[in-house]
Structure 1
Amino acid sequence: MIVETLETVEIGPASAQASVIWLHGLGASGHDFEPIVPELGLPAEAAVRFVFPHAPTQPVTLNGGMPMPAWYDIYGLGPGTPADEQGLDRAAGWIEALIARERERGVPAQRLVLAGFSQGGALALHAGLRYADGLAGIMGLSTYLPLQDHLSQARAAANRGTPVFLAHGDQDPVLDISLGEAARDALVGLGHQVQWQTYPMAHQVCAEEIGDISAWLYQVLAL
């Protein structure tokens, strides 16, 4: 599958001072988290641009090979199930191209947050921790850490001190909270600065979480 440039939904000023690239979950679209922007309550003078890319459509093994919007293939979620390493790396290339576009539009990497929900969160962690220049922050919501065993060698030095926000519902029937806890423990074990939040919810986002995300964005973007 050849994807040169991802299509995106954008909210915010043309001359942004900071950017958040936010990746949707499996089977969704860039419109999925569009309504969250006003709920974050970020000040207009902060000039934050939100970029919501659409994943390309591809077959997903976990869902019987059904084609759907997906960042990479998922073979399974159980222990020992192999990850689509080639697909993850290809998708990371798409995200790096979006970061490059933000930089060309005047937003340095140090003013950019890479975020995602579920499969999008897994890609945000995968791409962000490997990105060659330091980002403002990396956020993974209701997600997991793919290729966990590779990370100690694969991560970029520039993002070893980058703040990471991880959040998970304690009643998640899609991605059990143990997957989020494993991601947290792996990152903390490697010395990453992780803020971990749990909420009484399923595989979703709640109002309390949006408030915590807003506070974290204020902090990492120095708003």
Structure 2
Amino acid sequence: MKLKRETLELGSNIQHAVIWLHGLGADGNDFVPIVPELGLPKDAGVRFIFPHAPSRPVTLNNGMSMPAWYDIISLDRTKNVEMDDLLATVDWISVLIDEQVALGIDPENIILAGFSQGGVLALHTALRYSKRLGGIVALSTYFPFADETIAEMPKGYEQIPVFTAHGTHDPVIPVTWWHDYAPKLEEQGFSVVAKSYPMEHSVHPQEIVDLGAWFKDQL
């Protein structure tokens, strides 16, 4: 599937790409306003891509249709998504990465970022893509099938830098789910920047500052 998307470029000599995936019920415009707040140079040479998830019925939403990367079956973290459903969407994002590679961007200069559902997809796509990417940003999310995915990922992928953050008062995705997956990545040798903030299921101003600093290190 060729996903519709919003695109924002910093500079004309584009050498890096950030593919940023929104959460359930939102769209690609959700995180566009954050880019200027990251404090990156105007000539950073970065293309930000914000794809729109297609609308689909969501079981947890009584079958009502809304923008969603995959169906959410229940509130049980271990049973709320089918692997086949998730992997189908991983293929869509892999196509987006392929497009950027075809435009001349090295895979190690491509970062996958995502919030909530988008974070799940960022983690799974980055650890399954055919070449090692340049970074993962996982915001207010969780990591279903983490053990299987980490065990099956190609050797060397633990070199992918990770920025992961969560709200301590998140009522949608409990912070305990974050405490479950972030240490697993660290145990595998990933360089993980893990931050928590006094917020619910949202984005904190200090989080944007910290994320901007992390982006500067990677770019």
- Relative to the length of structure 2, the TM-score reads 0.95
Distance 1:146 1:190, change over 3 A: same
What displacement does 1:46 show?
1.4
SS at match of 2:35: helix
1:66 is aligned to 64
Q: Find the aligned partners of 1:214 and 1:188 in 2 and give their Cα distance.
A: 21
Q: Find the aligned partners of 1:117 and 1:73 in 2 and give their Cα distance.
A: 16
Alignment of 1:27-106 (within 5 A): 27-81=25-79, 83-106=81-104
Tell whether the 8 Å contact from 2:17 to 2:100 is kept in structure 1 after alignment. yes
Q: Mean alpha-carbon deviation: is it higher for 92-101 or for 185-194?
A: 185-194
What displacement does 1:158 show?
4.1
Q: Find the aligned partners of 1:156 and 1:27 in 2 and give their Cα distance.
A: 32
- Relative to the length of structure 1, the TM-score reads 0.93
What displacement does 1:82 show?
5.1
**Structure 1 position 185 matched with structure 2 position 183:** yes
What displacement does 1:62 show?
1.6
Alignment of 1:1-223 (within 5 A): 4-12=1-9, 13=11, 15-81=13-79, 83-221=81-219
What displacement does 1:139 show?
0.6
- The residue type paired with residue 35 of structure 1 is P
Q: Find the aligned partners of 1:115 and 1:15 in 2 and give their Cα distance.
A: 22
SS at match of 1:100: helix
Tell whether the 8 Å contact from 2:12 to 2:43 is kept in structure 1 after alignment. no
Q: Find the aligned partners of 2:70 and 2:97 in 1 and give their Cα distance.
A: 19
- The residue type paired with residue 2 of structure 2 is T
Distance 1:102 1:182, change over 3 A: same
SS at match of 1:68: strand
Tell whether the 8 Å contact from 2:162 to 2:193 is kept in structure 1 after alignment. yes
Q: Find the aligned partners of 1:28 and 1:62 in 2 and give their Cα distance.
A: 16
- The residue type paired with residue 33 of structure 1 is F
Q: Find the aligned partners of 1:16 and 1:104 in 2 and give their Cα distance.
A: 13
Q: Find the aligned partners of 1:169 and 1:98 in 2 and give their Cα distance.
A: 29
What displacement does 1:80 show?
3.8
Unpaired runs of 5+ residues, structure 2, are: none
Tell whether the 8 Å contact from 1:169 to 1:201 is kept in structure 2 after alignment. yes
Q: Find the aligned partners of 1:25 and 1:127 in 2 and give their Cα distance.
A: 15
CA offsets 1:67-88 (integer angstroms, 9 cap, x no match): 1111111112325425321111
SS at match of 2:133: coil
Tell whether the 8 Å contact from 2:77 to 2:144 is kept in structure 1 after alignment. no
Identity %: 46
Distance 1:21 1:80, change over 3 A: closer
Tell whether the 8 Å contact from 2:78 to 2:144 is kept in structure 1 after alignment. no
Tell whether the 8 Å contact from 1:131 to 1:156 is kept in structure 2 after alignment. no
CA offsets 1:62-114 (integer angstroms, 9 cap, x no match): 21111111111111232542532111111111111101111111211111110
Q: Find the aligned partners of 2:187 and 2:36 in 1 and give their Cα distance.
A: 35
Unpaired runs of 5+ residues, structure 1, are: none
Tell whether the 8 Å contact from 2:22 to 2:115 is kept in structure 1 after alignment. yes
